[in-house]
């Protein structure tokens, strides 16, 4: 500690003189002193961004990564204010690896990088990217009939799903099981690389529901499917890919996929006979 303090005092005083104490305090408070002392690229003009990105790192390589990421974002046309906002959102949601994978698409002007995938109304497509994002609040889907044991979902979505199942008539609840839930970036890379970082199952809010008594392809005709279409919004879920909305969702109708968006959003989307994309556009316009 004494050695580090002496090194900071020597280096800061020699450059910043009267401001050295305040700068040293900021460095120590945010665990930035090693980055400043041992990386010549450390830039006090980027201090606010260092505050955000430092907790993701166990070493001071964050200094060079910050420099590189800022360059990439400036090449995309982002202003300094927009870049800081991007880092505040991204560093609150991504791990170091997740952020690294997100930025691999920063050179692609046709790909929109999503800094806050945790937002309830986030939508993904071939033109959006979340890299190796992993939701912070995934829980095991215990006490729910599912295809395999190790299946996970966002905590709020899981709680809402349990309440919805409890509200179903017994004969419908007994026919229910979850075929798909949260799917990791790694699993998507293995099963369908083109979807990795672009699939909403990675958000942890989506479930694919199936019937025990009816063939998967005929699910639409089941009492379970009809109950879900009529009541799922009451518990914060919506049919993700409704009929006659492929032009908005860019996805054909699929009776299996339900997306948790919260009760307030689900109620509005259901009553407007809409989808997330149309709902987002309407909210943005207002």
pLDDT tens-digit map of 197-221? 999 999 999 999 999 999 999 999 9
Pick the last residue of a domain from 81, 106, 129.
Answer: 129
Averaged pLDDT, 220-238: 97
What pLDDT score does 19 carry? 66
Range of the domain at 8: 2-129
Does residue 276 sit in the same domain as residue 147?
yes
Does residue 93 sit in the same domain as residue 151?
no
Does residue 124 sit in the same domain as residue 156?
no
- Predicted confidence band of residue 261 (pLDDT cuts 50, 70, 90): very high
What pLDDT score does 24 carry? 80
Percent of the residues in the chain that have a pLDDT greater than 90, as a whole number = 85
- Predicted confidence band of residue 26 (pLDDT cuts 50, 70, 90): confident
- In the chain, how many domains are there? 2
Does residue 122 sit in the same domain as residue 199?
no
Residue-averaged pLDDT of the chain: 93
Does residue 104 sit in the same domain as residue 157?
no
Which residues, including other chains, have CB under 8 Å from residue 205's CB and lie 6 or more apart? 120, 153, 154, 157, 259, 260, 261
For 126-185, write each residue's pLDDT tens digit.
Answer: 999 999 999 999 999 999 999 999 999 999 999 999 999 999 999 999 999 999 999 999
CA distances from 265 to 135, 209, 268, 285 (A): 20, 21, 5, 16
Q: N- to C-terminal Cα distance for the chain?
A: 55
Does residue 112 sit in the same domain as residue 198?
no
Sign of CA dihedral 106, 109, 115, 120: negative
What pLDDT score does 4 carry? 63
Looking at the predicted structure, is the pLDDT value of residue 6 above 90?
no
Does residue 39 sit in the same domain as residue 143?
no
Q: Position of tokens 């529901």? A: 209
Pick the last residue of a domain from 105, 129, 153.
Answer: 129
Does residue 14 sit in the same domain as residue 122?
yes
What pLDDT score does 153 carry? 98
> What distance in Å separates the CA atoms of residue 55 and residue 31, rounded to the nearest whole number?
9
Looking at the predicted structure, is the pLDDT value of residue 15 above 80?
no
């Amino acid at each position: 500690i004494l050695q580090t303090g002496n090194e900071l005092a020597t280096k800061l005083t020699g450059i910043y003189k009267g401001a050295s104490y305040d700068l040293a305090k900021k460095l120590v408070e945010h665990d930035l002193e090693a980055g400043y002392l041992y990386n010549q690229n450390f830039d006090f003009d980027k201090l606010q961004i260092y505050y955000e990105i430092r907790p993701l790192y166990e070493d001071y390589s964050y200094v060079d990564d910050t420099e590189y990421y800022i360059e990439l974002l400036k090449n995309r046309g982002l202003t300094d204010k927009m870049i800081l906002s991007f880092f505040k959102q991204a560093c609150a949601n991504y791990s170091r690896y997740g952020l690294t994978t997100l930025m691999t698409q920063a050179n692609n002007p046709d790909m929109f990088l999503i800094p806050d995938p945790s937002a309830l109304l986030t939508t993904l497509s071939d033109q959006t990217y979340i890299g190796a994002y992993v939701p912070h609040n995934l829980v095991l889907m215990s006490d729910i009939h599912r295809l395999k044991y190790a299946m996970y979902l966002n905590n709020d979505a899981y709680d809402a799903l349990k309440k919805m199942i409890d509200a179903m008539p017994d004969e419908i609840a007994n026919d229910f099981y979850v075929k798909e839930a949260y799917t990791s970036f790694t699993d998507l890379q293995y099963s369908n690389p083109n979807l990795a970082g672009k699939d909403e199952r990675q958000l942890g809010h989506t479930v694919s529901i199936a019937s025990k008594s009816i063939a998967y392809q005929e699910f639409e005709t089941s009492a379970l499917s009809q109950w879900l279409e009529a009541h799922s919004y009451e518990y914060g879920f919506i049919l993700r890919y409704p009929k006659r909305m492929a032009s908005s969702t860019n996805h054909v109708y699929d009776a299996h996929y339900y997306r948790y968006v919260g009760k307030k959003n689900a109620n509005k989307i259901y009553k407007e006979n809409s989808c997330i994309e149309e709902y987002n556009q309407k909210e943005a316009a207002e």
